[in-house]
Amino acid sequence: MMRRRLVLILIGVGLLVLAIELFVALPRLAEWHPWDYGNYLRMGRDVRAGNNPYGSDRYYPLPTMLWIFVPLSLLPEWFKIVWIFFSFVFVLILLRGDGILAFLYPPFWFVITDAMFDAWLLLPLAWLFANRPILAGLGAAFALFKPHVTLFAVAYIVWHWLVTRDATNLKVFIATVGVLWLPSFVVNPRWVGQMLEVLSLRTQQVSLLPLLTTSLWSWWWLGGIAAVVCVALGLVGARGLVRALQRAPARAAAFQLIGLLVNPVILASNLIVVLPMLRGRAQLVAIVMLAWGALILDKVMNGFGGGYALIPLAALYFLSRENVGQV
C-alpha cells in the first residue's frame, strides 16, 4: 500500500510538473531557441551549402546530418514544438502509463529544454535490447545516428548476431547501414577524418573541464579522495557487468550501461537512454529519485556531474539481479 501511494503521488507530481511547464512555456515558445536544436539546424545548413559542418560541439557523423539535420533545416522554426512533442510520445510508447513518472526524470527534461534528439534513440534501443527479428537490425542501425552514446551496445549485438548466425538481423543491419551511410561518402569522402579531429579536441576539452561529463571520469579528474571514489565505483561497475553477463540475458543493455560509465563525453542528458532498460515501476521510481539526488549534488558542488554516474550503476545492478530480455 505504501509503494502504491508513493507511485500515485509521484504520478500526480509528474502531471503537475508537466502542466506547470506547459503553462509557463507556451507563451514564451516564440522566444525559445533551444541550443542543441539550433546547432542541428546550423549543421544542416552547412551541409546544404557545401561547407564543412564540423567545428566546436559539431561532431556528429555525416549520415546523421544528412538524414536528420538537413531535413530539419528545411522546416520552419516552429517545428521545434513538434520535435519535442515526439519526445513525450516516445516515452509514453516505451513505458505506457509509467511514462508519466519519466516526466520527473531530470535527463528527460535536459533533452526537452535543448530539444535534443536523444529521445529518438529510445525505441531503436528498445528494439535492439529485445533482439527481435528485423526490428533489432533496424534499431542497431538507427542507434548509430549518435554512435558515441550507443556504440558499445551496437558492437555487442552485432558480435552476438555473428556468433549465433542470426542472418536476418545481420542482413537488415548491413543493408540499413549501407543505405544510410554510403551516400555520406559521396557527399564528402573526408568526413570521418574531419569528425575524428573535432572529437579529439572535444575529448581534450572535457579532460580539462571534468564538470562537463557525467561518466566515472568526472570523479577521477576531480582528484584527491574523488579519485578513490572513481576506482571504487569502477570496481562496482565491473562486478555488476560480470554478474549481468552471467545471470541476465540482457547483455546488450549491460554493455550500453558500461559505455555510459566509461565514455568521457557522456552528458546527463544522454542518460535518457537508460529508460529502455528498466523493468517495472519500482526500478523507474528508484532511478528518478536517484537522478534528483544527482541533480542536487550537481547544484551543491557547482556543476559537478559525477552523481549522475550512479544512474547507470543502479540500472546495471537491476540487470544483474533479474533475468529479463532475450539477448
- What tens digit of pLDDT does each residue of 161-207 get? 999 999 999 999 999 999 999 999 999 999 998 888 887 766 655 54
Single-letter amino acid, residue 201: L
Residue pointed to by grid coordinates 533489432: 136
Write phi, then psi, for 105 (nearest 5 degrees).
-80, 115
Residue 240 near residue 313, CB atoms below 8 Å = yes
Per-residue pLDDT of 68-92, as tens digits, reads: 999 999 999 889 988 998 999 999 9
Q: Is the pTM of this model over 0.75?
A: yes
Question: What does the buried/exposed string (b/e) look like for 195-234 if buried means 16 or more CB atoms within 10 Å of the residue's CB?
Answer: beebeeebbeebeeebbbbbbbbbbbbbeeeeeebbeebb
Question: In the chain, pLDDT over 70 holds for what percent of residues?
Answer: 85
Note the pLDDT of residue 298. 86
Residues (pLDDT < 70) of the chain are 1-4, 6-8, 10-12, 14-15, 17-31, 201-212, 247-249, 322-327
Write phi, then psi, for 55 (nearest 5 degrees).
180, -160
Write phi, then psi, for 266 (nearest 5 degrees).
-85, 135
Distance CA 198, CA 180 (A): 22
Radius of gyration for the alpha carbons in the chain, expressed in angstroms and rounded = 20
DSSP for 161-217? HHHHT-HHHHHHHHHHHHHHHHHHHHH-TTHHHHHHHHHHHHHHHHHH-GGG--STH
- Give 136's contacts (C-beta < 8 A, 6+ positions apart): 127, 128, 130, 157, 169, 172
Distance CA 3, CA 313 (A): 23
